Amino acid sequence: MPRKKWEIPERQATDEDVYLNRRKFIRRAGLGTIGLLAGCIPEKLLNPATLVDPTKYLGPTIIEPIPPSEWYPAPTNDEFSTLDRPLTDEAVAAKYNNFYEFSTSKDVWRYIDNFEPAPWTVEISGLVPEPKTYDIDYLIGIMDLEERLYRHRCVEAWSMAIPWTGFPMRDLIDFVQPLSSARYVRMISFFNPEVAPVQWDRSDWPWPYTEGLTMAEATNELTLLVTGVYGHEMPKQHGAPLRLVTPWKYGYKGLKSITKIEFTSEQPATFWNTLAPHEYGFISNVEPQVPHPRWSQARERFITTDSNPTELRDTLPYNGYAEYVAHLYE
């Protein structure tokens, strides 16, 4: 496993040159650049056994985040660098979205101008040793971003293929070290009817949009917290500044514009399951043989380009990701 940014390897604890590489060094509040003070660093900070323990770096110890100007393009994860189908055109993906806060049809881009995804914070709460609210640029800046090509399957039976940029959710979980009593992760989007007209018009819906995963799902290799698409920052309609992507599940699990991540012992209520429990479950894996109460899921309308807008394909079990996740549901 490659090291994460907050895991400082031994050679970095002893090699001043590496310390001075600003992408990977740590600063202690009030101490200035640690590398310049190598002679007088407390032993516990130089002990690699301590340095690789992320729990030691919560609180006043600061990890130097990479600034947003250096986030894109992120390196491709070789395991997810090809797909069995072409990518959907970027412009098509940006004009065919589900983001019900702004529109109940696909033309979300027309209604999203007033939404400001910056400045933004994400609150980490519930069953964690240190509940805390993070500035989004800090949170993203301390994670290792990577690009992955994923199939994207909506419960409405349309699908796309999208290059997401983000970081594995399990990296965030490693960083915040939830308590052993945490069994679920609950994620919450924003509530602001002044900029999101449907939150006003449909005030009877259970806003804010909420989703949830089991801890095993949240820590699965596939589960990505996404910040960008097509090699750059994510446009607002895809869920800026931070969204979830779980490619083996129907797209509605992929909550956009996350404001809060809470670790819980009980299964959290979710937006669609609250609104229509007989149609939308909590697990919501892509299962071609299980029809939606109102339509079949056996086939999907794959959206590629404007000139060749859709192609009918067989839906794949777990959207083609069975090798990564089927064991979770045996």
Q: Which residues bind ligand MTE (CB under 6 A)?
A: 97-101, 152, 154, 189, 209, 238, 251-252, 254-257
Asked if residues 236 and 115 have their Cβ atoms less than 8 Å apart, the reply is: yes
| CB closer to ligand MTE, 80 vs 209 | 209
| CB closer to ligand MTE, 51 vs 154 | 154
| CB closer to ligand MTE, 80 vs 190 | 190
Which secondary-structure segment (H or E) carries 137?
helix 136-141
**DSSP E strand stretches across the chain:** 26-28, 32-33, 61-63, 121-126, 132-135, 146-153, 158-168, 184-188, 210-214, 224-229, 232-233, 243-245, 260-264, 299-303, 310-314
| CB closer to ligand MTE, 42 vs 277 | 277
Which residues are 228's β-sheet partners? 165, 233
Q: How far is the CB of 59 from ligand MTE (least distance, A)?
A: 31
**Residue whose beta carbon is closest to ligand MTE:** 251
Q: Which two tokens stand for residue 99?
A: 């983001």
Q: How far is the CB of 22 from ligand MTE (least distance, A)?
A: 33
Q: How far is the CB of 250 from ligand MTE (least distance, A)?
A: 7
| CB closer to ligand MTE, 175 vs 207 | 207
Q: How far is 131 from 123, CA to CA, in rounded Å?
A: 8
Q: How far is the CB of 239 from ligand MTE (least distance, A)?
A: 6
Q: How far is the CB of 235 from ligand MTE (least distance, A)?
A: 9
- 3-state secondary structure (DSSP) of residue 223: coil
| CB closer to ligand MTE, 34 vs 229 | 229
Which of 271-277's residues contact partners 24+ apart within 8 Å by CB, and which partners?
Answer: 271/205, 271/206, 271/207, 271/209, 271/210, 271/211, 274/206, 275/205, 275/206
Q: Which residues contact 21 (CB under 8 A, 6 or more apart)?
A: none
Asked if residues 181 and 265 have their Cβ atoms less than 8 Å apart, the reply is: yes
Q: How far is the CB of 256 from ligand MTE (least distance, A)?
A: 3
| CB closer to ligand MTE, 19 vs 318 | 318
Q: How far is the CB of 244 from ligand MTE (least distance, A)?
A: 8
Q: How far is the CB of 106 from ligand MTE (least distance, A)?
A: 8
- 3-state secondary structure (DSSP) of residue 265: coil
| CB closer to ligand MTE, 34 vs 122 | 122
Q: What are phi and psi of 252, to 5 degrees?
A: -70, -15
